[in-house]
A and B are shown apart, each in its own frame.
Chain A
Amino acid sequence: MESKDYLKDISEIKNMMHKSSRFISLSGLSGILAGIYALIGAALVYWLVMTYSNGVLMLDGWVYQTCLLILAIVATLSIITGILLTTKKAKRHKAKIWDATSRRLVLNFLIPLVVGGLYILIILSQGKYGQSGGLMLIFYGLALVNASKYSIGDIQYLGYIQIVLGLLGAWKPGFGFWLWVLGFGFMHIVYGAWMHFKYDVKK
């Protein structure tokens, strides 16, 4: 009888530590969808560049601008999906969406991401676009690792993978596009599926 009470105490302690410090994990499904958006976007870009630009991306053509637009749409759709599905999941678990811990999560995620985004825009405007694929991966990876301190769901591992892919992309800029596809497309799907089965399905 007594032992049962102590066990309850311990689980209560763990529960409170978890609930108070870490934002509810992102929905795994949103990771899968983000990966699919990225793959569709990459396929479109690939087709555009191959068909209208002879496989070479020129900086001021309409192809290039369309590619940037596709990138922006992919990013926006991913974020919207992520917010929608995570909100739904949080409601199901009766967790609060917008409290001190989620604010901390978002802030820590955004700092490396916004810095990276601005940096990429600046060097793009200077005509140095060879590194942008790798840089996107590196800054996104750093954002994930930074945010992982405030989230359940092991996103730091996804972050490490993105950083490694990004460094590879910096080393071999020619593979930047394919590494981007691997990082933002396939890794999101793999990670999302893993999270989905590890955290979402059981409950």
Chain B
Amino acid sequence: MSIINNINKAFDHRIRLGIMSILMVNEYADFNMLKELLGATDGNLASHTKALEKAEYITVEKQFIGRKPNTRYATTKLGRAEFKKHINALEKLISKQ
């Protein structure tokens, strides 16, 4: 039962898993990088980043590079910890079978 509890609903989607995975190994990533790597549409990716932001798992930073607006994302401490828990839970579930 406790293992099931560690499966985090906030990560229960391919795009969200992808966002977190990318941000775990990169200091930050901007919107276009995420889009390219995940092959997601603008709207789809935006809704998933928003959900992760709401859970305070990632931070969003808006800035301008020259004249172009640029949005970059980074994980929070909480997000990293929760994601690690989630991976551990996944691995335990797999090894149980």
CA distance A100 to B30 in the complex (A): 11
Segment at the interface with B among A2-10, A44-52, A65-73: A2-10
Q: How far is the CB of A69 from chain B (nearest CB, A)?
A: 42
Q: Which A residues are closer than 8 A to B by beta carbons?
A: 2-3, 6-7, 9-10, 12-14, 16-17, 19-21, 96, 99-100
- Inter-chain contact count A-B, CB under 8 Å? 48
Partner of B25 from A2, A3, A9, A17 at Cβ < 8 Å: A17
Q: Please report the total number of B residues contacting A with Cβ < 8 Å.
A: 20
Given contacts A7-B94, A9-B17, A16-B18, contact A21 B25 (CB under 8 A): yes
Q: Which residues from chain A contact B21 at a C-beta distance below 8 Å?
A: 12-14, 16-17, 20
Give me the interface of B with A, judged by CB distance under 8 Å: 14, 17-18, 20-22, 24-26, 29, 33, 36-38, 87, 90-91, 93-94, 97
CB < 8 Å: which of A10, A17, A21 contacts B91?
A10
Least CB distance from A57 to B in Å reads: 47
List B contacts of A7 (CB < 8 A). 94
The winner among B21, B25, B26 for most chain A CB atoms within 10 A is: B21
- A21-B26 Cα distance, complex, nearest whole Å: 7
Given A7-B94, A20-B25, do A12 and B14 touch, yes or no (CB 8 Å)? yes
Inter-chain pairs besides A6-B93, A21-B26, A100-B33, 16 sampled, C-beta below 8 Å: A3-B93, A3-B94, A3-B97, A10-B87, A10-B94, A12-B14, A12-B17, A13-B21, A14-B21, A17-B22, A19-B37, A20-B21, A20-B29, A20-B33, A20-B37, A99-B36
